[in-house]
Amino acid sequence: MEIAVILKILLAAMLGGIIGLERELSHKEAGLRTNILIAIGSALITVLSLKTAALAPGADPARLTAQIVSGIGFLGAGAIIQARFAVHGLTTAATIWTVAAIGIAVGSGFYLLAFVVAILVVVVLTVFKLLLAFLEKQKRNFVYLISAEERASLLVDLRQVLTELNIHYSSARLNRRDGGYEFEIIFSTSENKNRDFLEKVMLLQGVKEVLSENL
């Protein structure tokens, strides 16, 4: 019986390690060791939850396991960083959550399901990253010079537009002019997003003129 438990822990470690290796090679905070520990811990807690319930008739076999789902949220929240009006670490947080689920699956005896999901996670993290890299090459650089009335919330509105469209600017400069502002921004994005940005900016209250040019 103990050998079966040990084999479950080893399988969880292997599957967590496969995902963790990809994260390590991508230089992410939650790398090889973190993902292995999450998978091992989830599998062990699941096994203990099932065995404890078996010793006490009428007990809920998922009582301990359910705490993994809520507890892993603390790790995920720690991986998410908000900086410069952009959110980073969502993929890492989602990976942590999925690795915990894989550990639960192994601990519950769903070995094939855990293996398939682990491989699928690696495919998503690698193949789709290459696809996104290809799409990044299709982007172009744009320079905007926005003239606007003096309004305190204008910068907040502009940054909100950038956040909504998931556009990350490489350079931004604000100059005060007589009776207003002159805002210069440079970013790289697709033609479609550039068009959406232009439309949204033109609708902002206080914007008087928008000049754009491609680099």
pLDDT per residue rounded down to tens, the chain (215 residues): 688 899 999 999 999 999 999 888 888 777 899 999 999 999 999 998 888 877 777 777 777 778 887 788 777 776 666 444 455 678 888 899 999 999 999 999 999 999 999 999 999 988 887 777 666 666 778 888 888 887 767 778 888 888 888 887 777 887 877 777 788 888 878 777 888 888 888 888 888 888 877 64
Domains: count for the chain: 2
Give pLDDT, residue 83: 47
Give pLDDT, residue 85: 45
Name the phi and psi angles at 147, rounded to 5: -100, 135
Residues 166 and 122 in one domain: no
Residues 10 and 80 in one domain: yes
Task: Report the alpha-carbon distance of residue 33 to residue 96 in Å, rounded.
Answer: 12
CATH label of the domain that carries residue 153: 3.30.70.260
Going by C-beta distance under 8 Å and a sequence separation of 6 or more, which residues neighbour residue 195? none
Helix 90-108 to helix 2-25 angle, to the nearest 10 degrees?
A: 160
Decide which of 84, 109, 135 is a domain's last residue. 135
Give pLDDT, residue 152: 66
Residues 189 and 148 in one domain: yes
Residues 68 and 94 in one domain: yes
Give pLDDT, residue 67: 82
Residues 38 and 119 in one domain: yes
Decide which of 114, 135, 156 is a domain's last residue. 135
Give pLDDT, residue 138: 63
Q: Which residue range is the domain that position 192 belongs to?
A: 140-214
Give pLDDT, residue 81: 61
Counting every residue written for the chain, the total comes to 215
Q: Would you say the C-alpha torsion 121, 125, 127, 128 has a positive or negative sign?
A: positive
